[in-house]
A = this chain, B = another copy of it.
Amino acid sequence: MTHKIAILGASGYTGAELIRLLAGHPAYEITALGAFSKAGQEMADVFPHLRHLKLPKLVSFDAIDFDTIDLCFCALPHKTSQEVISKLPKHLKIVDLSADFRLRDPEAYETWYGNAHSAVEMQGEAVYGLTEFYRDDIAKARLVAGTGCNAATGQFALRPLIAAGVIDLDDIILDLKCGVSGAGRSLKENLLHAELSEGTNAYAVGGTHRHLGEFDQEFSQLAGRDVKIQFTPHLIPANRGILATCYVKGMAEDVFDAFVQAYTDEPFLQLLPFGQTPSTHHVRGSNFCHIGVSADRLSGRTIITAALDNLTKGSSGQALQNANLMLGEDETSGLMGAPLYP
């Protein structure tokens, strides 16, 4: 059986990445592609790398007949997403890639995003889309909230340790390096090639990055107490890829064991041999996350490094993984493609 798929916000990078993945998926058919300013255009004009595909033209949202759609991906800007989703038919399965339904608590949402949520009732309904940890809920959900790409990386690197109680919860530092596509196809000066190439800088230093809202929510719930980590993201001159370097207090062997327990059967979460470190080069364009554990020379300190592709495992790949669950397909279907290297 072929499921009919719509993508709203198909003219951004996560939209394009969804199409790339869906095009190789045997059970899905892209039925509608929605956009705002680029409605009326052919996808081949917006994204020439997709020109070999037979795709519907970009249309405005009200031109889409959602009755014929089985599942809708929303790859819209934050805030816009909640407005659009709240008006979609209630039968429709939705995977939202924005930040709008990631935080369950309306107050926390307002704190981190600076505005009151306009679809509070749906906020409660949404399931947090970190597949490996919310599988059963996602399979039954109507609305799944894709996680932040940084938030996904940090959680893959830390959840099993918090759950297993093998690290000090009051001293977790997450130093993260991310490529530029995480910022989307937006016209900002700091995203220009001339400003970014051949350099690096930290941003949102001191605990102001919005993905901290997700870390706080998830880690605290997992631990059954308040957990607040330190998190500093850095922009590196690469298009794709996130590398998380986590500094924790805990014995490296216990940390490694916790990962062995948690991830051995996970198809996408690849634990490296003890002491090895992952590279974002080795996951590009794929749905895999590589994780390394190293003991520090200082006893009782452990470093965890995790690498994934922000547009795939950190966003559109995760979205497809969730859609597979929601539609009864094999969870890994269409997602086992090897990374592109070099």
Binding site for B on A (CB under 8 A): 13, 16, 19-20, 23-24, 47-53, 171, 173, 175, 177, 179-181, 185, 187-189, 191-203, 205-208, 212, 228, 230, 232, 234, 236-241, 243, 245, 247, 267, 270, 272, 275, 277-286, 288, 290, 292, 294-298, 301, 303, 305, 307, 336-342
CB contact between A197 and one of B23, B198, B296, B305 (< 8 Å): that residue: B198
CB contact between A230 and one of B189, B197, B212, B247 (< 8 Å): that residue: B247
The 7 closest A-B pairs by CB, nearest first: A207-B297, A199-B281, A201-B279, A49-B282, A194-B342, A187-B187, A49-B339
- The answer to whether B230 touches A301 (Cβ under 8 A) is yes
CA distance A175 to B174 in the complex (A): 10
- Known contacts A191-B194, A206-B303, A237-B237; 6 additional CB pairs below 8 A are A20-B341, A171-B171, A177-B234, A193-B237, A195-B281, A198-B198
Report A303 CB to chain B, min CB distance, Å.
5
- The answer to whether A199 touches B279 (Cβ under 8 A) is yes
Contacts of A281 in B (CB 8 A): 49, 195-196, 198-199, 201
CA distance A278 to B202 in the complex (A): 8
**A-B CB contact pairs (8 Å), 12 listed:** A47-B341, A48-B272, A49-B286, A49-B339, A180-B193, A197-B197, A197-B238, A198-B198, A198-B241, A202-B243, A228-B297, A230-B303
Report A154 CB to chain B, min CB distance, Å.
14
- The answer to whether A201 touches B243 (Cβ under 8 A) is yes
- The answer to whether B49 touches A283 (Cβ under 8 A) is yes
- The answer to whether A199 touches B338 (Cβ under 8 A) is no
CA distance A51 to B228 in the complex (A): 34
- The answer to whether A338 touches B280 (Cβ under 8 A) is no
- The answer to whether A234 touches B238 (Cβ under 8 A) is no
CA distance A207 to B243 in the complex (A): 19
- The answer to whether B48 touches A200 (Cβ under 8 A) is no
CA distance A16 to B245 in the complex (A): 28
- Once A173-B247, A340-B20 are accepted as A-B contacts, the answer to whether A198 and B284 lie under 8 Å apart by CB is yes
CA distance A51 to B48 in the complex (A): 31
